Structure 1
Amino acid sequence: MTDSPHEVATEENPQEFLAWYRHSGENEIPELSPFQTMCDSSSNMKPVKDYRVILQDIGSNYITHMHVGVTGVAPNMEVICPRVTHLRIYMCAGSDPKIDFVEHCKEICKLEIYHADFRTNGFPDVFSKLTSLKELYLNRCTLPQSPEELQSLAPLKYLKVLSIIGNRTNIGYPEVVSSLTNLTHLYLTILNITELPWSFSSLKNLRELYFSRNKFANHQLPVVVCELTELVHLDLTMCDLIDLPQSFCRLTKLEHLDLSFNNLKILPPPIYSLTNLICLSVPGNFKLRTFDKAILNLEKLEELHFADCHALKEPPTDLCFEGIAGVKRYFIEREASRIVD
């Protein structure tokens, strides 16, 4: 038997886990844009009972990218992948909910965690030690009931991308997010966010914001969102909105706006001022009755999606299959006929 304490522990207490990895001796993996996962390798993860098999496989190389499915006690990451930069963790049913083992991954810059239970054992303090993180994804995790418990995210001053997707969670807006002023991409969905503090306006570097499936108070988008004038992409899908604030017209850099499955009755007038819009999505607004001919002002608009807007009278809803081309033709022909009349 070897003298290595790690290997002794492995022999006496084998803990099977699932793994996929890429090491430094293999071809580089292209960097992906934010919110894209490293690669869809979950189906390629294989059971591992003894991590020495991995160490033998990589030889003198080191692991840079790894996906781990934790089925019991977490594997010894300090030995397996101390230099990992991209790590995805699936917390399988019945696994130890603690994720303190990531503390040993000092070079990690992209961390994805799925299905962790942060309510039973509290939100981990270990996040405060991962100060090299640039991207953090907490997806389908059970979060604490109080947003104040996420305070361990505060030291992540280099964080550019943050994604928190709730799992039957009513946590509300975690105000610690407002302190992460280097964020460029923010995804907060299914968190039961009803209001936003004015401190949210400090996120001046945000270019992409996803707020889908939150229901704001009084069916209105908080006006503080209109302070984020660098936004290029805004997703407000299923937010139960009936209108947009007049100051929404300040978001002049917007190129992609998604208002799918809300309760709009008309296309909010501020939208017609967003002359950099390339893609506008409003499908599933069942009460939407009309667009204004001012939509012709959106000269850069290439995509207009409005399927399942069953109350739409002008333009006719059956033009949805033609998109913006059909809508423009409708208004041009309508104006021409009025001139003739």
Structure 2
Amino acid sequence: MAAAVYSFTSYNDDDDDDYVDDDVEGIWYRHTGEDIPPENSKQLPHRLTNKDILKELGENYITHMIVKRVPIPDLTRIAPKLTHLTLCDLPDEFFPLRLNTLTELESLDLSYNYFSQGLPSSISQLRSLESLNLSSSDLSDLPTWLNNLTMLKELDLSHNSFTDGLPEVISHLRSLESLKVSECKLTGLPDALNNLIMLKELDLSHNSFTDGLPEVISHLRSLESLKVCECKITGLPDA
């Protein structure tokens, strides 16, 4: 069997995924041996096998990776200590994913994908995961195994279509501090949302609360930021 071949570029941006241009494709990464600003990122050779990548890393290991519109490399072999992973705008044939070996993963961005076979169930085994981005993924529901992510603090579900209401499983994510559900065709919120006692940020922008702002919001005692722009609100709850 021929060795897998990938196109790689060095990636050094701490927080802003927009560093990767919308029109490009490829794989970007940052490893523990790099300490240079994004504008000085070096271009690595275009064709690398797993063996080449490991040689390039030496004693270092990959911590951040972005994969966009190209086949996903063997993460178990070349990046077992990943903490931040973005898999963006991938063809459907690249799924399902097996991510359960990435035991140190803290942040996972799966935005702009189409999960015709459902969300990869291996996500449920990422017990260190703190941030999950599923925005713009054509979702209408969420699997119940999502409540296994007991460490999850940030969940972005923006630009999906929850016409039957916000999935109940969200109310079981007791560690959640930030929930973004803008432009999700919501008309209400479940009462069980008051279980999110740690929630500090709630983005409900661009939904349709024509019957007024859901009363459950008044029970979110830790809430510090509430976004409700373009929500067609006609009233506020008495509480």
Tell me, yes or no, if structure 1 residue 282 matches structure 2 residue 228: yes
3-state SS in 2 of match to 1:173: coil
User: Which residue of structure 2 aligns with residue 216 of structure 1?
Assistant: 162
Letter in 2 for 1:263: S
Choose from 54, 63, 81 the match for 1:109: 63
Choose from 178, 198, 202 the match for 1:233: 178
3-state SS in 2 of match to 1:200: helix
Matches within 5 A, 1:151-230: 151=98, 153-166=99-112, 169-171=114-116, 172-218=118-164, 220-230=165-175
> Are 1:236 and 1:258, in contact at CA under 8 Å, matched by a contact in 2?
yes
Unaligned runs of 5+ in 2: 1-6, 22-32
Matches within 5 A, 1:86-101: none
Matches within 5 A, 1:1-341: 32=14, 36-37=15-16, 40=19, 63=34, 67=41, 73-74=47-48, 76-83=52-59, 107-113=61-67, 115-118=68-71, 123-124=72-73, 126-129=74-77, 130-139=79-88, 141-144=89-92, 147=95, 149-151=96-98, 153-166=99-112, 169-171=114-116, 172-218=118-164, 220-265=165-210, 266-285=212-231, 287-294=232-239
Query: Of Structure 1 and Structure 2, which has the larger fraction of its residues in helix?
Result: 1
> Would you say how many aligned residue pairs link Structure 1 and Structure 2?
214
In structure 2, the CA distance between the partners of 1:235 and 1:41, relative to structure 1 (3 Å rule), is closer
Letter in 2 for 1:73: R
User: Which residue of structure 2 aligns with residue 319 of structure 1?
Assistant: none
Alpha-carbon distance in structure 2 between the residues aligned to 1:194 and 1:145: 21
In structure 2, the CA distance between the partners of 1:83 and 1:144, relative to structure 1 (3 Å rule), is farther
Q: Once the two structures are aligned, what percentage of the paired residues are identical?
A: 25
Letter in 2 for 1:267: L
Over aligned residues, Cα RMSD in angstroms?
3.1
User: Which residue of structure 2 aligns with residue 104 of structure 1?
Assistant: none
Alpha-carbon distance in structure 2 between the residues aligned to 1:233 and 1:164: 17
Give the number of the structure whose alpha-carbon radius of gyration is greater: 1
> Are 1:195 and 1:217, in contact at CA under 8 Å, matched by a contact in 2?
no
Return the offset for 1:38. Answer: 8.2
> Are 1:143 and 1:166, in contact at CA under 8 Å, matched by a contact in 2?
no
Alpha-carbon distance in structure 2 between the residues aligned to 1:174 and 1:41: 24
Letter in 1 for 2:128: N
3-state SS in 2 of match to 1:178: helix
**Comparing 70-79 with 170-179, which one deviates more in the overlay?**
70-79
Letter in 1 for 2:157: F
Unaligned runs of 5+ in 1: 1-16, 23-28, 43-61, 85-106, 295-341
In structure 2, the CA distance between the partners of 1:21 and 1:209, relative to structure 1 (3 Å rule), is closer
Letter in 2 for 1:292: P
3-state SS in 2 of match to 1:182: coil
Q: TM-score, normalised by structure 1?
A: 0.55
**Comparing 271-280 with 174-183, which one deviates more in the overlay?**
174-183
User: Which residue of structure 1 aligns with residue 4 of structure 2?
Assistant: none
Letter in 2 for 1:178: S
Alpha-carbon distance in structure 2 between the residues aligned to 1:165 and 1:21: 19
> Are 1:20 and 1:41, in contact at CA under 8 Å, matched by a contact in 2?
no
Letter in 2 for 1:277: L
Letter in 2 for 1:258: D
In structure 2, the CA distance between the partners of 1:111 and 1:268, relative to structure 1 (3 Å rule), is same
3-state SS in 2 of match to 1:290: coil
In structure 2, the CA distance between the partners of 1:21 and 1:288, relative to structure 1 (3 Å rule), is closer
Alpha-carbon distance in structure 2 between the residues aligned to 1:41 and 1:146: 20
